[in-house]
Structures are given as structure tokens and as C-alpha cells.
Amino acid sequence: MLVKNLGRVPYLETYQAMQDFSAQRTAETADELWLCQHEPVFTQGLAGSASHVFHAGAIPVIQTNRGGQVTYHGPGQVMAYPMLNLQRAGYFVKEYVYRLEESVIRTLAHFGVTGHRVANAPGIYVRMADPFAHAALTGPTVPGDPFKGLGKISALGIKVSRHCSYHGLALNVKMDLQPFERINPCGYAGLQSIDLFTIGINTTWEEAADVLAHKLTALLAP
């Protein structure tokens, strides 16, 4: 897999480039992993509802063809876009999503943080009170609120066309989290978003991107 660091780039430009790459690729085209960070933007998935955006303000809202609901992208967040031929890799979408999430869990573990999955809510979460605790989640602490005590540190949304993936995942490193308060992140009212810096990990965007890239390339290999 060819890894490309695009730097800080506009979302729309990158979205178009992903679509162009996916439309033009052939069965022999090498897989690529794009790493970047975006100017502030809200993106809506195919299931996105305008009601989940309270006050966009000066931040643009862009409709996309990925799965999921609304989320926010901005400086200080690692965006990872694997352009992967799933048929050639030999696994289905469910397995692909699992591997994406596992790459984030292992990236967090590199920094001593324990990441968790929540059933039926793609992405990775951490315990706000103790992000370094190793105990597994046993279920919601409050009935009907699976996110109680959790913060979302990584969002995930993908598109598969002709057995090939694009879009990908976001890992919050050190960013302005306030825009997340203007939306229901991923469609969940009251869900708190968090980044590595807020839970005590003062790393650079470059280091986090490098660790994540290594985990992704290892886990997405056929």
C-alpha cells in the first residue's frame, strides 16, 4: 500500500480526488492510503439529517456519499483514507470496518490509551474518567445511554464502489473540539467528542499520523 501524506488540504478537493481515483482505478491499480488534515468542515453522510446540525455558522456543511451521519473535520485531526481493493484483499465490508477500528485501537494503545467499540455505533470511544484503564466495557452504565461516561475519539465512514473503498476514518489528536458541540456527532444527541490532548497525550499530528499509518498498512494487508 502506497502511503501519501497530503498535508493540510481542503475537504472538497480531497473528496473529488478520492472519487476520481476510485473511478479510474483498474484491477491492477495499487492500493493507496492518504493521510491529511482539513480546514474546518462539517460532512454529512448518506443517512445525514439536517436536524443534527444546530448551528454551522461559518463552517461549511458538505453532503457526501459515505455512510453515516454528520461529523466535523478540522486542523489537528488525522484523516486516513484507504483506497483499498477489498476483493483483492480478500475480505468483506464488515471485516474491513473491524480492521479500521482495530488500527485505531492499536494506535491508541501505542500512546497508553484504551480504545473501545460500542455495539451498533461505528468508531472508537474512550472512558472519560480513566482513558488508560484496561477493563473492557461491559455495557452502558445508564440504561438506554450506551455513551454515558464515554468520549468519541475516532469517527468512521466509508464508501465501497466496484469492490473498492474510499473515505475512511478520523482520529482526533489536538484540535478545537467546540464545533462538535454544534452537531449531534454521528447522529447521537449528547455524544461527547474528545481528542488525545484533552486526555493527557501531548503528541504531534505527525507522530499520530505515522503510528496510525503503520497500524493501517499492517492490518489492511491481505
HEC string of 47-85?
A: CCCHHHECCCCCCCEEECCCCCCCEEECCCEEEEEEECE
- Helix axis angle for 93-110 and 205-219, nearest 10°, is 140
Cα–Cα distance, 101 to 105 (Å, whole number):
6
Output the pTM of the full model: 0.94
In this structure, is the dihedral angle defined by the CA atoms of residues 149, 154, 157 and 160, taken in order, positive or negative? negative
- Report whether pLDDT(185) > 90: no
Report residue 159's pLDDT band, with 50, 70 and 90 as the boundaries. very high
Strands of the chain (E only): list them: 2-9, 32-38, 41-44, 61-63, 71-73, 77-83, 116-118, 121-127, 150-161, 164-172, 192-193
Domains of the chain: total: 1
Q: What is the mean pLDDT of the chain?
A: 93
Q: Which of 176, 173, 194 is nearest to 111 (CA)?
A: 173
pLDDT for the residue 49: 82
- Report whether pLDDT(48) > 90: no
The CATH number for 63's domain is 3.30.930.10
pLDDT for the residue 141: 55
Report residue 39's pLDDT band, with 50, 70 and 90 as the boundaries. very high
Q: Which of 143, 163, 154 is nearest to 194 (CA)?
A: 154
Chain segment 74-89, per-residue pLDDT in tens: 999 999 999 999 999 9
Helices assigned H by DSSP within 115-195:
none
Chain segment 92-119, per-residue pLDDT in tens: 999 999 999 999 999 999 999 999 999 8
Neighbouring C-alpha atoms within 13 Å toward the C-beta of 14: 27
pLDDT for the residue 145: 74
pLDDT for the residue 82: 98
Strands of 97-149 (E only): list them: 116-118, 121-127
Residue 96: domain span = 2-219
List residues with catalytic annotation.
Answer: 186
If one counts every other C-beta atom within 10 angstroms of the C-beta of residue 117, the result is 17
106-110, 158-162, 187-191: lowest mean pLDDT where? Answer: 187-191
pLDDT for the residue 140: 57
pLDDT for the residue 47: 81
Cβ partners under 8 Å of residue 5, min gap 6? 35, 36, 209
| For the chain, percent of residues with pLDDT exceeding 70 | 97
Chain segment 138-154, per-residue pLDDT in tens: 765 555 677 888 999 99
Supply 30's cell numbers.
495499487
